[in-house]
Amino acid sequence: MNKPMLIGIIILSFTLSVVAQSLQFPSPETYTKENADKFHKTATNGLSPVYAPLAEWLVEKFQLKEKEGIGIDIGGGPGTLSVELARRTNRMFWINADINTFYIPHVFQCAKDADVAHRVGAVFADAQALPFRDHYADLVVSRGSFQFWKDKQLAFSEIYRVLKSGGVAFIGRGFSENLPIEVANQVRSRQTKSGGMPKYDVNDTIKELKIIMLALSINEYAIHRPKSPENENVNYGIWLEFHKK
Ligand X SMILES: C[S@@+](CC[C@H](N)C(=O)[O-])C[C@H]1O[C@@H](n2cnc3c(N)ncnc32)[C@H](O)[C@@H]1O
Residue ranges in 22-65 assigned as alpha helix (H):
33-44, 51-61
The yes or no reply on residue 98 touching ligand X (CB under 6 A) is yes
Count of CB atoms within 10 A of residue 62's CB?
17
The yes or no reply on residue 176 touching ligand X (CB under 6 A) is no
Catalogue the E-assigned strands of 61-136: 68-74, 91-98, 120-124
CA–CA separation, 232 and 227 (whole Å): 6
Q: Contacting ligand X (CB under 6 A), which of 59, 70, 71, 75? A: 75
Point out which span in 105-113, 142-150, 203-211, 228-236 binds ligand X (CB under 6 A): 142-150
Point out which span in 14-22, 106-114, 124-132, 234-242 binds ligand X (CB under 6 A): 124-132
Point out which span in 1-9, 112-120, 140-148, 237-245 binds ligand X (CB under 6 A): 140-148
How buried is 215 (Cβ within 10 angstroms: 0-12 exposed, 13-18 middle, 19+ buried)? exposed
Q: Which is nearer to ligand X, 71 or 77 (CB)?
A: 77
Q: Contacting ligand X (CB under 6 A), which of 39, 132, 236, 239? A: 39
**C-alpha angle 192/198/201, rounded to 5°?**
125
CA–CA separation, 153 and 158 (whole Å): 9
**Min CB(85)–ligand X separation in Å:** 12
The yes or no reply on residue 159 touching ligand X (CB under 6 A) is no
Give the footprint of ligand X on this chain (CB under 6 A).
Answer: 31, 39, 43, 74-77, 80-81, 98-100, 125-128, 143-145, 148-149
